[in-house]
Chain A
């Protein structure tokens, strides 16, 4: 396997709070990862640790074979677009793009200019005066045009309108098809990016609760809908991720069903519905005691 990132026993504590708590996983080259979780779950901290911007309290991070902290040869191959990236106060987008060229070895100026046009980014306006969407566009352009072998996008499209988000997905997919690289996307808009993701990591309260192939994950749960009594009878003894009901109707989200079980459900007069990635994540991270789904 060509893993480019190895993480094991990784913990980051701020005082008594463990922002990242004993996390371990690997990232393989050329794939698109979704790093999902609620606000404050530890997504940004985890990405800061992977890019050498934060120091781990415990555990090991290896990116391209060594710790990213203070290693220029590793950092050369990374690009981390922070949601809350701070820019020099006096900078305009053109200054950001001008400096990006000096820092990213694979920077494609023509591509950057094309993206500036497409995102309609005003390049001669103080960063402070940009709207939230325009600010996000600056990050998205840098992240795409830097063409770093390992790129992290942390909530890249806060404030971007629907067309700009679509443009981002299109350009990202198009460009990584031509120049394969590894992308880690952290986002709340899970449904929108679900088709893009090949592998999903879900983090909740600092702990990694899902590390699974996106295809597999979609099959891990199903919803059964029908008369309350039938639903109750069917789910008895099963692991129930979520339960809902109106009047005499109920729906329950249960773990993966075998073919026989599906047939059994249909025979019991229940309807089966797929569970979207977003619903699954909501159910996994909304519960007080999330169940662990590990492959």
Chain B
């Protein structure tokens, strides 16, 4: 008898993919990942629509200016921030559990990335469809804008889905690295992360302001346009994803 024969006593009949298992784990309770954000989104939309209604009924010009003004609506941005929170929580919710169920950290990370990317894509598509409906119905019958907002340009519905997806991934990646730091170093990890992030942001703004290069920055993005600028998000996405893995690689299940 040797160790190999021992293992065979209880044959492992099927070898499930742990990455797939982790992926499914994130969707095991559809309440958090789908129904709740949909409900909140629906509510935000309803509120916006009611406000548009009030404006169009009470404004002397029948809300003529609203068509222009609401293209700057930030109401749709909720879902992006939601994705950030979802990514942070996804880690904290499921990491200990998945590790307890025998997932490797690597498989856990890959499965989580896949789950977040798929939800990001899903939301981007929902977003794109709603934007098309918004345009087709003349702003939900009231000239209001929530989805076809100015931030996503006017390169057509497919480009809008692509931009929304990239923005979604960006917020997800920031949430992911924050979540991984939290799992590894708890609160200190998060504080450190946001401190570094704030320093980088302020430093970047200071650098642009002190070298008087706002115009150059503006023309840089102007030349690239939406189609050229949005894919630049892939750079911070890649960096954050790599950092997240480095943090998680040595994280343990101690609560």
Q: Which range holds the interface residue count of chain B?
A: 35 or more
A71 to B98, CA, bound (A): 14
Q: Is the CB of A103 within 8 A of B1?
A: no
| Nearest CB of chain B from residue A56's CB, rounded to whole Å | 11
CB distance from A279 to the nearest CB of B (A): 33
Q: In the bound complex, what is the Cα–Cα distance between A49 and B61 (angstroms)?
A: 72
Across the interface, A53 reaches (CB within 8 A) one of B7, B24, B32, B99, namely B99
What residues of B have a CB within 8 angstroms of the CB of A105 in the complex? 12-16
Docked-complex contact B96 and A86, CB < 8 angstroms: yes
* B residues 174-232 touching A (CB-CB < 8 Å): none
Do B101 and A104 touch (CB < 8 A)? yes
User: Do A91 and B28 contact each other (CB < 8 Å), given the known contacts A103-B16, A105-B12?
Assistant: yes
CB pairs A–B below 8 angstroms (30 shown): A2-B3, A2-B5, A30-B9, A53-B253, A70-B106, A71-B104, A72-B107, A75-B102, A76-B12, A76-B102, A77-B7, A77-B12, A78-B102, A82-B100, A87-B97, A88-B28, A88-B94, A89-B93, A99-B24, A100-B101, A102-B21, A102-B24, A103-B21, A103-B103, A147-B10, A149-B6, A149-B9, A180-B9, A181-B9, A181-B10
Complex Cα gap A103–B23 (Å): 11
* Given contacts A53-B253, A86-B255, A4 and B9 within 8 Å (CB-CB): no
Q: Is A141 an interface residue (CB 8 A)?
A: no
B137 at the interface (CB under 8 A from A): no
A80 contacts the other chain (CB 8 A)? yes
A65 proximal to B (CB < 8 A)? yes
Instruction: Output the least CB separation between A144 and chain B (Å).
Output: 13
Shortest Cβ distance from residue A127 to the other chain B in the assembled complex, whole angstroms: 10
Given contacts A29-B9, A106-B13, whether A72 and B99 have CB atoms under 8 Å apart is no
Residue of A nearest to B4 (CB): A65
Given contacts A3-B3, A55-B250, A77-B7, 12 further A-B contacts (CB under 8 A): A85-B100, A86-B97, A88-B94, A88-B97, A90-B31, A95-B29, A99-B24, A103-B21, A103-B98, A103-B103, A105-B14, A180-B9
Which residues 1-57 of B have a CB within 8 angstroms of A?
Answer: 1-3, 5-7, 9-10, 12-16, 18, 20-21, 24-25, 28-29, 31-32
Kindly report which residue of chain B lies nearest to residue A52, judged by CB atoms: B104
- Let me know if A231 is at the binding interface, CB within 8 A: no
B3 touches A64 (CB 8 A): yes
Contact A4–B28 (Cβ < 8 Å)? no
On chain A, the residues within 8 Å of B93 by CB distance are 88-90
Q: Which of B7, B98, B254 contacts A4 (CB 8 A)?
A: B7
Residues of B within 8 A of A72 (CB): 18, 104, 107
Q: How far does the alpha carbon of A85 sit from the alpha carbon of B97 in the complex, in Å?
A: 7
- How many whole Å from B4's CB to the nearest CB in chain A? 8
- Measured between beta carbons, the chain B residues less than 8 angstroms from A149 are 6-7, 9-10, 12
Closest B-chain residue to A105, C-beta based?
B12
Q: Is the C-beta of A98 less than 8 angstroms from some C-beta in chain B?
A: yes
Residues on A with C-beta less than 8 A from B15 are: 76, 105
| Cβ-closest chain B residue relative to A147 | B10
Q: Would A104 and B102 count as touching, CB distance under 8 A?
A: yes
Min CB gap B252→A, angstroms: 5
Report whether A70 and B105 are in contact in the complex, using a CB–CB cutoff of 8 Å. Answer: yes
Are A2 and B6 in touch, CB under 8 angstroms? yes
